Chains A and B, each alone.
Chain A
């Protein structure tokens, strides 16, 4: 079974430029997450989707970040304009609820460097 797919794997941009990340979750997983992970820290949730609905975007910096999940499958996360502090790894995860438990599976991440 294919895992969570993300692209690009690496991105280097100059500050104030826009950038977009793409995620394809595991087939059949209704829940999709975007996380940001800084060096030496655990992943921090940016947004969670149930199908196409964003059910938790409380930690998404809405002045510059946006996300969408059209048709409840693939998702994109956009930053415009990027700032130096946005340099991090952006992880996408999807999950399936079984027996009352929800296990998340992560993609390889997109490593962003803002210069």
Chain B
């Protein structure tokens, strides 16, 4: 089992739809969490950090559930430009600092 797991998708949604992705992590010592976005043949770029209290940035909302060891990303009012791969990233400090990337969830937003 991978330390960070995501549904690979693809998620195919129409413009304006709301879509949610989950990511589970297995190491309870994980300390910080992020969502990155990666466009085709481009490098990953930070979308948002995920805070324990949950956080929102425009149409994007990220939440963390430490008890169940998952994080989520909600995208409201999807745009064509949201089409990308969304990577879940977990940092853990014990056993040596590690950054672990999920394999990503692909999103296609259609007109």
> What's the minimum C-beta distance from B88 to chain A, rounded to whole angstroms?
8
Query: With A and B bound together, what is the CA distance between A40 and B98 in angstroms?
Result: 21
From the candidates A40, A58, A106, name the one contacting B44 in the complex (CB within 8 A): A106
Residues B49 and A101 in contact, CB atoms below 8 Å apart:
yes
The secondary-structure label for the interface of chain A is: strand
Are A33 and B99 closer than 8 Å at their CB atoms? Answer: yes
Q: Which 4 A-B pairs have the closest CB atoms?
A: A42-B101, A106-B43, A42-B103, A43-B101
Residues of B within 8 A of A (CB): 4, 8, 32, 34, 42-46, 49, 87, 91, 96-99, 101-104
Write 28 A-B pairs (CB below 8 A) sorted by A numbering.
A33-B99, A40-B104, A41-B103, A42-B4, A42-B101, A42-B103, A42-B104, A43-B44, A44-B101, A45-B98, A48-B97, A48-B99, A56-B96, A56-B97, A56-B98, A91-B43, A91-B44, A101-B32, A101-B49, A102-B91, A103-B34, A104-B46, A104-B99, A105-B46, A106-B44, A106-B45, A108-B42, A108-B43
